[in-house]
Amino acid sequence: MAKSRIGRAEQLNGWLFIAPALVLLGIFMIYPILWSLWMSFQTGRGMNYSFGGFANIIRLTEDPVFIRALTNTGIFLVVQVPIMIVLALLFAAALNNPNLRFRGFFRTAIFLPCVTSLVAYSILFKSMFASDGVINDLAMVLRLMDAPISWLGDPFWARVVIILAITWRWTGYNMIFYLAAMQNIDKSIYEAARIDGVPAWARFVYITLPMLKPVILFTTVISTIGTLQLFDEVNNITLGGPSDSTLTLSLYIYNLTFKFMPSFGYAATVSYVIVLLVAVLSYLQFLVARDRKA
Partner 1 sequence: MNKMLARVRNTAIFASGISLLALSSAMATEITVWSWDPNFNGATMKEAAARYAVTHPDVTVNLVDFAKADLEQKLQAQLASGTTDGLPDIVLVEDYGAQKYLLSFPGAFEPLNGKIDYSGFAPYKVQLATVDDKTYSLPFDSGVTGLFYRTDILAEAGFTAADLQDITWDQFIDIAEVVKEKTGHPMLGIDLNDAGAVRVLLQSAGKWYFTPDGQPDIAGSATFKAALETYAKLLQAKEIYKPVSGWTEYTGGFTSGEVASVFTGVWMTATIKAADMSGKWGVAPLPKLAGVEGATHASNLGGSSWYVLSSSAEKDQAVDLLAEVWGKDVDFYQKILVDQGAVGSLLAAREGEAYKATDAYFGGQAVWQSFSDWLAQIPPVNYGIFTNEADAAVAAQLPTLANGGSVDDAIAAIDAQVRAQIQ
Partner 2 sequence: MSRLAANLRAALVYGLLSLAAFLSIFPFFWMLVGTTNTAADIIKGKVSFGGALSQNISNLFAQVDMLQVFWNSAFLAVVGTILTLAVSSLAGYAFEMFQSKTRERLFSVLLLILSIPFAAIMVPLFVMMAKLKLINTFTAILLPIIASVFIIFYFRQATKAFPRELRDAAKIDGLKEWQIFIYIYLPVMRSTYAAAIIIVFLANWNNYLWPLIVLQTNENKTLTLVISSLASSYYPDYGVVMVATVLATLPTVIVFFLLQRRFVEGLTGSIK
Strand pairing report for 42-45 and 48-51: antiparallel
CB of 21 to partner 1, least distance (A): 21
Q: Interface with partner 1 includes 244 (CB under 8 A)?
A: yes
Residues of this chain, 140-159, that bind partner 1 according to CB under 8 A: 150, 152-155
Residue 216: C-alpha distances to residues 88, 125, 148 (Å):
10, 29, 39
- Residue 63 binds which entry of partner 1, partner 2, none, with Cβ cut-offs from 5 to 8 Å by kind? partner 1
Distance CA 172, CA 85 (A): 10
- Residue 159 binds which entry of partner 2, partner 1, none, with Cβ cut-offs from 5 to 8 Å by kind? none
Q: Interface with partner 1 includes 285 (CB under 8 A)?
A: no
- Residue 197 binds which entry of partner 1, partner 2, none, with Cβ cut-offs from 5 to 8 Å by kind? none
Of 43, 52, 73, give the one whose Cα is nearest residue 233: 73
Q: Interface with partner 1 includes 118 (CB under 8 A)?
A: no
Q: Where are the alpha helices (DSSP H) in 46-198?
A: 55-61, 64-96, 103-111, 118-128, 134-141, 155-182, 187-195
Of 57, 242, 266, give the one whose Cα is nearest residue 252: 266
Q: Interface with partner 1 includes 258 (CB under 8 A)?
A: yes
Distance CA 245, CA 248 (A): 9
Which of 262, 272, 275, 285 contacts partner 1 by CB under 8 A? 262
Binding mask 65-84 for partner 1 (x = CB under 8 A): x-------------------
Which of 21, 47, 120, 142 contacts partner 1 by CB under 8 A? 47
